[in-house]
Structures are given as C-alpha cells and as structure tokens.
Structure 1
Amino acid sequence: MSTPTADWLRLDQQICFSLNAASRAFGGVYRVVLKDLGLTYPQYLVMLVLWEDGELPVKRLGERLRLDSGTLSPLLKRLEAAGLVRRERSARDERSVQVRPTEEGLALRERAVEVPRRIAAATGFELAEIEELRARLDRLTSALDRAAAEG
C-alpha cells in the first residue's frame, strides 16, 4: 500500500529526519564511549583515517571525511595541541600540509579497539544487520551524490 500524497509532508515520513535523528543518537552514544579517550566524534573519525592510512595530505583527509578545510583545520589544531597528530608542510609542495599520527596518537589506537564493539552493542543489532545497514547507507550516499552532481 502506498503512502497518500498528503502524508509525504509528515515529519515521520521524511527519511532525512530519520537519518538525522539516528545520527544525533549515535552522537550521544559516541560522546559517552569516547570520553575515556579524550576525543570528540569528529576527532575520532580523523584518527580512524590516520590509523588506517598513516600520513596524508590535509586535502585528502578532508575528502575521505567529507569535511571542508574550515571544519577540518580546527579539528587538526586541537588534535595537534593534544599531541596526537603532527602537521607539516610538504617538502615537495609547500602549499600542501601533511598530517600524521604521533607516537601518542598511534598508542591511542590500542585503547580505541573497544569503541566499535561498544557502539555495535548499543545498536542492539546483529553484526549482519549492521553490515547490511552500512551497505544500504553507502548505496544511498552514492545515489544522493549522483543526484546532487546532476543538479
């Protein structure tokens, strides 16, 4: 049975609202889980990429995280002040800034290993459900990126 057109403008019918509400709920759980690491959720995402890729140009890091430089720069500044990352101008291209985890930043990875397990447990989902949801969200993101690019 399809939804009547008049109901399309109901808040509870908006997928964007459901995704936003879920994102905010995740934020609340991450705030609790990351407290012991001394990281905010955006800082955690930066560290995840650096633990995975090592040293990266700031531009590439922003692309991976889908963050602009105005958002990413203050994050990196705070992580650098905390001793977790180091930023340096590239020797090959002085316009480019490289960022890499410090020894302390790399050591934090060991303490962060439990974060995904705790988040998964908080969802109440089985691992297969989480993987399926992530795959669907990736497909949704790709479709929305294509739609935005097409105008």
Structure 2
Amino acid sequence: MINSTAPTAAYKQPVSVLVLIYGTDGRILLLERADRPGFWQSVTGSLEAGETPFQAALREVGEETGLQQTATQALYDWQHSSEYEIYAHWRHRYAPGVTRNTEHVFSLQVPANSAICLAAKEHIAWGWYDLPTAAAKVFSPSNRDALLALPQYWPL
C-alpha cells in the first residue's frame, strides 16, 4: 500500500526582520518582489526555527542581496520592533488564525553602488534611491516608517 499523505508544509513564524540597506552616499537599496511586481521593499524575512532576529537579518541579507560579508561586519540592531497586520494575500503562509506579525528592524551601511545579486525566486529588480523617493516607493507602512527614522541611525 502506498501512503498518499503528503507532509504538511511548515508555517512561517509571525516574527520577521526588516533590514534597511543604505550606501555611504545615503542612497537606499530597494528590491521589487517577484510574487508582487510593483511592490518595492527593503530586505525582509521571517525567522526560521531556532534563529535570533540578528541571525535572521544576516541570513536574509545574504540570501536576498549577496552582501553577507558586509552584513556580518556592519549590521546594526535598532533594538526596535513593531507589530502589524499581515496582508490577507500572504496569510496562507502562516498557521490558521495568525493575523499579526512582529518585525525587528536593522540597518546596514555598505559602500556606495555595491553590487547586488538578487534571489531570483524572491525579487525581480533592485535599485538605489534617495531617502524621500525610497520612502514613497515602498508598499509597506512599517518599511516607510523605518526609512523615515533611518537618518537618526546612520553615521553619514
């Protein structure tokens, strides 16, 4: 007899990181989502089992941009988190009934015009933008709020 029961996919944890990457020239790196063209954002991602927010931020930066070595040296933990409602079109990724996510904020300064290597399954484009343009371009209010707060954290 063949067992036709497929394993249940693991749900995402409702705890994530947001990493604002900016160049030494003050321009902000944004990524365009592959699953939602036109949705621009900073680096984001949910924590995996056993990860701390800092470890998740390092992993996500490496996976989404290829900037792993730089991140290890310069990732800054804001010691700040916010809670927001998960968009309805992404709730299927979470356990039934989960509607809110806690997001931990980090920033990372890199050399201006650093080369970016996108995770093709996650993003289709990237660009460097001045702060007002970046804040207006991102779809997420929490991303926008963090970008607007970024100047108090950067060493420019």
Q: Which has the higher contact order (CA 8 A, sep 6+)?
A: 2
Please state which structure has a larger fraction of its residues in helix: 1
| Larger of the two Rg values belongs to structure | 1
What TM-score do you get using the length of structure 2 for normalisation? 0.27
Q: What's the TM-score, normalizing by structure 1?
A: 0.28
